[in-house]
Amino acid sequence: MNCFPDELDFEALFCVEPTRLDKDCPFYYDESTFRFENQTESFFVKMTPSYGEFLLEVKSKTSNELLAYQSFKTVDKLEIVTDTADAAKILLTMEKDRDLYMTTVEITFKPRFCFIMKEHFVG
């Protein structure tokens, strides 16, 4: 089973309620989208925790230029690393179908967007 925080944790992190595909379905099994922004970027996050899917789209608020687009289909674990009024950061971990390596992705939303992807030798 994938390890994702619950809906309230994401609402607190992103400071917005999600748009849900099926409100009668539990958050873990539903597709949820979050739209929010910081001082310089706007974010679109879509996730389906039960499938391990996480999509991120980041645009510049001033030019609407696409800064980042990442789509992951094999997220095993999503951790909220930092959740304060001034800082928000998550960590995605992907281990599926990897015998010797795993991939981690650190995404900072506040105060400014930052994306760090690392491959780790675990064999």
Instruction: Give the tens place of pLDDT for each residue, 30-89.
Output: 999 999 999 999 999 999 999 999 999 999 999 999 999 999 999 999 999 999 999 999
Q: Is the dihedral of CA 91, 94, 95, 99 positive or negative?
A: negative
Residues of the chain with pLDDT > 90: what percent? 86
pLDDT band at 1 (very low <50, low <70, confident <90, very high): very low
Polymer length in residues for the chain: 123
102 pLDDT higher than 70: yes
Q: Is the dihedral of CA 60, 4, 48, 96 positive or negative?
A: positive
Cis peptide before 5 (omega within 30 of 0): no
Which pLDDT score, from 0 to 100, does residue 97 have? 61
Which pLDDT score, from 0 to 100, does residue 100 have? 77
| CA angle centred on 38, ends 8 and 84, rounded to 5° | 50
